[in-house]
Structure formats: C-alpha cells, structure tokens
C-alpha cells in the first residue's frame, strides 16, 4: 500500500511539473496578448487597475498587466515642473517613477538595475525586486514595455522562497508579451 501511495505522489508531482510547461495564449481587449501557464486561472482581485489578472494559488504565482496611454504620463511630466526634475517623458521616466513608488511601499527592497531590451519589437525595461510586503518576503519580476500609444507593466510575483521555482517562467511570460496591431486597414 505504501508503494502505491508513493507511486501516486511521484506521478502527481511530475504531472504538476508538466502542467507548468504548457501555456495558454491570452488576448486582452484586442490590444495585447501574453502566454501564461495553463495552470493559471483568471481572477479579478489582484489589482484594481490591471487589465489582466491571473494566478496559480497552489504555487503562489501571480501575473498582472497594467496598461495606460503613454500620453497620460508623458503630458503629466511635461506639465509638472517638480516631476520634470526627476523623470523624463518616456519609458525610462515611466519605469523610474514606478520603481520609486514601489521602493516607498516595499520593506528591505533590493532592486536590480534596469535591463534595456526589446520584447517583440517594442522597447522594454526589465527589473527584479526582493523585499517584504505585509510581512511576506516576495520576489517580483517586472517588464515595462512601450507600445505604439501605451505603456505596459507586466508584473509577476511569488513568495521569495519560491523564486527559483518560478523565475524562468516569469521570464517567458514577459518575453511572450505582444502588442496586437489595432490599426488594421480594410482592403477595398
């Protein structure tokens, strides 16, 4: 009997590992798409401004995407002299402002330097953070992306103790982000 229970536990473990390698492509508002593990489910309570919110509650792994018109941030910086002293009206300023806001809310935050990259043709910045939120040690992986007319924040997080379990999946999620072509012209 113990051998059967052990065998079932091993099979369950390997089947759960396989599930995380399978992905589902999620399209949001015909604006962007992103690939998430099939083990993720859609929720609506992770962040009030997020257009995408998914989680795997069993493995404490969460992903959200927040999108906002780039002109909103750019104009705010251009119109506010105090913001212009610290931030530029571009992806660099946008990501720096978000990093500064996070630094004010996370305890013992350890921030990586921004890594400049391209994600499916779009200018992007990547950043990781370790710290404590509400008494829980957490690991975040951020992707800030400049779309045609939109800034996107792709945010993955998990408990710090699960960082090694999810870091590679987080990178794949961010790398899969695609802004969809919303200006398709009709052929005559």
Q: What are the pLDDT digits (tens) for 77-99?
A: 999 989 999 999 999 999 999 99
CB 147 within 8 A of CB 32: yes
CB 111 within 8 A of CB 133: no
Reported as a single tens digit per residue, the pLDDT across 3-57 is: 444 434 444 444 444 445 799 999 999 999 999 999 999 999 999 999 999 999 9
Annotate 24-84 with DSSP letters as a single string: EEEEETTTEEEEEETT-EE-S-S-TT-SEEEEEGGGTEEEEEEEEEHHHHHHHHHH-HHHH
pLDDT for residue 34:
98
Which of residues 72 and 17 earns the better pLDDT score? 72
pLDDT for residue 181:
75
* DSSP count for the chain of H helices, then E strands: 5, 11
In sequence order, what are the residues at sequence separation of 6 or more whose Cβ sits closer than 8 angstroms to the Cβ of residue 52? 26, 28, 34, 63, 64, 65
Rounded to the nearest integer, the mean pLDDT of the chain is: 89
Closest listed residue to residue 176, CA positions, set 185, 184, 168, 188: 168
Quick one: fold of 23-179? Protein Transport Mog1p; Chain A (3.40.1000)
């Amino acid at each position: 009997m113990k051998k059967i229970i052990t065998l079932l536990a091993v099979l369950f473990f390997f089947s759960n590992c396989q599930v995380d390698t399978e992905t589902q492509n999620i399209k949001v508002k015909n604006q962007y798409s992103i690939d998430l593990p099939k083990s993720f489910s859609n929720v609506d309570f992770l962040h009030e401004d997020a257009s995408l919110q998914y989680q795997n509650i069993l493995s404490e792994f969460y992903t959200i995407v927040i999108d906002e018109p780039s002109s909103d941030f750019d104009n705010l910086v251009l119109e506010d002299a105090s913001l212009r002293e610290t931030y530029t009206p571009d992806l660099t300023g946008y990501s720096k402002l978000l990093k500064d806001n996070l630094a004010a809310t996370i305890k013992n935050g350890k921030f990586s330097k921004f890594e400049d990259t391209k994600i499916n043709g779009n200018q992007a910045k990547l950043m990781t953070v370790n710290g404590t939120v509400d008494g829980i040690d957490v690991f975040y992986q951020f992707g800030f992306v400049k779309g045609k007319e939109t800034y996107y924040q792709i945010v993955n997080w998990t408990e710090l103790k699960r960082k090694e379990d999810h870091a590679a999946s987080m990178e794949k999620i961010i790398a899969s982000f695609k802004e969809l072509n919303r200006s398709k012209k009709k052929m005559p």
